[in-house]
């Protein structure tokens, strides 16, 4: 079983749609959680951290369910510029970042 699993997609959605991605992780000792965004042939960039109580950043909402070991990302009112691969990331160590990445979910927002 992979340490971090994501649906690879692609998710093809129209502009303005709401789309949700889920991610499961296998190590119950995982300490911190993130969503990164990666555009084609570019480096990953931090989209948002995921907190136990859930958190929101504009059109993006992240949630964590420790009991079921999954993380979700909700994007509301999708924009063309949201088209990218979204990487679910967990960190087992509370110290320096040795992150474990999922394979990513590709989102294509269509006009």
Partner 1 sequence: DAGVTQSPTHLIKTRGQQVTLRCSPKSGHDTVSWYQQALGQGPQFIFQYYEEEERQRGNFPDRFSGHQFPNYSSELNVNALLLGDSALYLCASSFTGDSPLHFGNGTRLTVT
Chain positions contacting partner 1, by CB under 8 A: 4, 8, 32, 34, 42-46, 49, 87, 93-104
Phi and psi at residue 81, to the nearest 5°: -70, -10
| Of residues 76 and 108, the one with the C-beta less far from partner 1 | 108
| Of residues 8 and 54, the one with the C-beta less far from partner 1 | 8
CA neighbours within 13 Å on the CB side: how many for 52?
A: 4
Min separation Cβ 14 and partner 1, Å: 25
| Of residues 22 and 32, the one with the C-beta less far from partner 1 | 32
Min separation Cβ 16 and partner 1, Å: 28
Min separation Cβ 80 and partner 1, Å: 23
Nearest to 86 by CA among 111, 108, 110, 56: 108
Number of other residues whose CB lies within 10 A of the CB of residue 4: 21
The answer to whether the CB of 98 falls within 8 A of the CB of 2 is no
């Amino acid at each position: 079983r992979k340490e971090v699993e994501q649906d690879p997609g692609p998710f093809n959605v129209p502009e303005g749609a709401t789309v949700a991605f889920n991610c499961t992780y296998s190590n119950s000792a995982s300490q911190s959680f993130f969503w990164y965004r990666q555009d084609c042939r570019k480096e990953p960039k931090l989209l948002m951290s995921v907190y136990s109580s859930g958190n929101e950043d504009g059109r993006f909402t992240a949630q964590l369910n420790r009991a079921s070991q999954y993380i979700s990302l909700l994007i509301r009112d999708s924009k063309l510029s949201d088209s990218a691969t979204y990487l679910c990331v967990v960190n087992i160590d509370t110290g320096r970042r040795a992150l474990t990445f999922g394979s990513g979910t590709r989102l294509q927002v269509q006009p």
